[in-house]
Amino acid sequence: MWSFFHKLGSPPWLYRISGSILRWLLPLTLIALCAGAVWGLFYTAPDFRQGNSYRIIYIHVPAAVVALAGYYVMAIAGAVSLIWKMKMADVAMKACAPVGAALTFIALVTGAIWGKPTWGTWWVWDARITSMLILLFLYLGVIALYEAFDNKEAAGKACAVLTLVGTVNIPIIYKSVDWWYSLHQPASIKFTGESSIDPSMLYPLLLMIGSFYALFTCALLMNMRLEILRRESRTGWVRKLVGA
């Protein structure tokens, strides 16, 4: 157990093992993504209320779910790097931010496009959309803070503190935005409530959620490998790797 933990802190080991993981995980992820998209787009019946526009759910919901989970991954990595001073956790935290921001962006854009045929408008100040927008701001804040520091070690620590503050705040933000929305909910827009989803629609959705998690892992590992190379560029193993 401890030897695994020590290996996890070793850049050459992590670089090698992430490379061999990516070799099978990345193709698998792309296949699963395409399969899920084709299943959702062509092989499911349309929703009886929203028609075919509901097919956006197969990218909107997975992107939103993984974007939110990504913030917690980032916070855990930040906590590990602060508490155990583990360099690779710092690398993981830095690699999370752009991936999470991209997924949040996807969730927002697909939500807006979905809104047009469903509610007749591109943007609604709905609780979930507003929370996603705030989540995007949180991700961009972490990236902005990291880029503002010249000393990258201090940048990592500062971002770790910021993500931990964000972790405490996210439930508060979500609850208060939820509450704010229930107070101001306009009567003209009716939302589908907690309706049960048919299994024939649920399975492709679950496949897509799983694929998005795998995709997050792939993008995270790839960004980590880039960052490891950048940080270790003066060491012998990178010189051997590059020179070969």
Partner 1 sequence: MSAPGTLAFSGRLLRRQLVLALRRPVDIGNPLLFFAMVVVLFPLGLGPVPAALASFAPGILWIIALLANLLTADNLFRGDFEDGSLEQLLLSPQPLYISVLAYVLAQWLVTGLLLALVSPLFAVMLGLAGAAIPVLIASLLLGTAVLSLVGGIGAALTVGLNRGGMLIALLILPFYMPVLIFGSAAVQAVVSGMPAAPHLAILGAMLCLALALAPLAIGAALRISVDA
Partner 2 sequence: MYFDSLHAALAMEGHGPFVWAAYAITAVVLLTLLLSPVLRSRRLRRDLAGEIRRRETAAGEGRHASGT
- Residue 158 as a binder of partner 1 (CB under 8 A): the answer is yes
- Residue 55 as a binder of partner 2 (CB under 8 A): the answer is yes
Question: Which run of H or of E encompasses 242?
Answer: helix 236-243
Alpha-carbon span 238 to 138, nearest angstrom? 34
Window 163 to 202, contacts with partner 2 (CB under 8 A): none
- Residue 63 as a binder of partner 2 (CB under 8 A): the answer is yes
- From residue 10 to residue 49, what is the string marking binding to partner 2 with x (rule CB under 8 A)? ----------------x------x---x---xxxxxx---
Radius of gyration of the chain (CA): 20
Closest approach of partner 2 to the CB of residue 109, in Å: 5
Q: Three-state DSSP class for 31?
A: helix
Q: Three-state DSSP class for 48?
A: coil
CA distances from 244 to 14, 15, 30, 163, 170 (A): 19, 16, 30, 39, 46
DSSP state for residue 52 in the 8-state scheme: G
- Residue 91 as a binder of partner 2 (CB under 8 A): the answer is no
Nearer to partner 1, 35 or 158 (CB): 158
Alpha-carbon span 109 to 103, nearest angstrom? 10
Q: Which residues would be at the binding site for partner 2 (CB under 8 A)?
A: 26, 33, 37, 41-46, 51-53, 55-56, 59-60, 63, 98-99, 102, 105-106, 109-110, 113-114, 116-117, 215, 218-219, 222-223, 225-226, 229-230, 233, 238-239, 241-243
